[in-house]
Structure 1
């Protein structure tokens, strides 16, 4: 007895279409493999060996195969259409992904460049901050040094202010000077006069010593000559006249020397008088009593020398203060 069939048996499993391209390709290859499968029926479905039954079975199988073939053709066209559509979508997605990848790559490069520029700017800013910090430390150190110098200058000013006060008092009380620079000018004038007088005195003393030495030597020589001439007076009467003339000549020279000595003595007296007058003026301006004798010229010169040295120190100090004051301004 032949098996009964309620309808045509479909051996192809219709898969649902998916948007996943990889899954669609996998299903496509599975469908190809299913087409090659040879369908085998179980032994209990095999009909008998009757020719009519064989013919009926063959016709039925042929009709079933034609139906399945038509269904597979329709399914294959539908799948081909879906596959073509999916391939088009995949190509458009691939193109879109390519464009997205290029844009992303460009964006990554730009971000890398921006990051490098930002890192360089951060590094430059850090270096600038370090340099500024070092400059600040240097300025603080200089400020501390300047403050110490300022305090030191204040101490110097306080220390030497008494000299300025003294000079201002001299200007007020003497009525001889109009300002402190005039005192310095007078001091320089006195120094120059002292040097000139000292040089002149040294020259005069040298000339006087030379003349005295020559006169002493000459006197000794003439004394010896006179002693020899006294012993030979009788024999050298003729030479007496020449000796007398020579003596008159030397007497003239001695007279000239005496006149020169008198002039130098007069000059020395004037110098001593000038020295005494300078000493009196110094004592008057300092407001100290006169303790040196008029004839003690050495002490007068020592006192004048000390006063000049004091004025020189005062001038030097005042000049330093003026230079520092101008630098401070």
Structure 2
């Protein structure tokens, strides 16, 4: 006959419709969730140093993996940013070169326009001067024709003066004949011609001086144009030198920023070393003999402390292994005796 085991916790079926038992069901679920679950003592993991060390090693490996992943991301981001910065620098240099070439092109066009303008003005002045001279010559020819007509008319009209000269010779005894009157007139005319020649020479000297002044002015204009070309060349060289100076100033600023950042990192590292040295010295009860600026001696103390901790860690690890082996042997012995 088969033995029927008695159910120590039989299932109690609710009486009544199921809808009315839903609230009781959810209430029991919430109470069971709030109940403290206790496990047997033998199911709880013993916090041995080896387990803690393995857990710490696992956490360290996970942290190293995350750190390596972050470093790889940082390296990729840094390469991307460096490529973008290099692209921006290339575009900046290309823009500077285009500005320089465009400025040079505009300056050359301006100089050519100014030279053409000056040449056009000089040609217009020469044309106006020649036109004025032509008009003056035409006016003079017209005047000379008028004078010729007037002289011919006067010759016809002044024949009466011959009779007058004869009357003068008869009336004035110093003139023996009309030829003396004419000689006197010729002498006065010669004096007038002499004065006219002197005046003509003076006018010629004045004209030669004016021509020399014009030649000197033209020579000075050419000299000034040469100086302007030299000045334009010097300005272009100045622009090139200024661009190079700006480039090296930017490089110097970047170097100064890098040096300042490295200096700040060095200051932080020194402060951390000094804080670690001070903490280790206080924990060991050692005096603070090393000056604050002597970080090499501080690093020696910190390295010694780290070596001591490493040695202690090795001893603890060896002892934990020995303890684990001893416990294993004890368990084996107990099992063999049982």
Q: Do they fold alike, i.e. is TM over 0.5?
A: no
Higher relative contact order (CA 8 A, sep 6+): 2
TM-score, with structure 2 as normaliser: 0.31
TM-score, with structure 1 as normaliser: 0.32
**Larger of the two Rg values belongs to structure:** 1
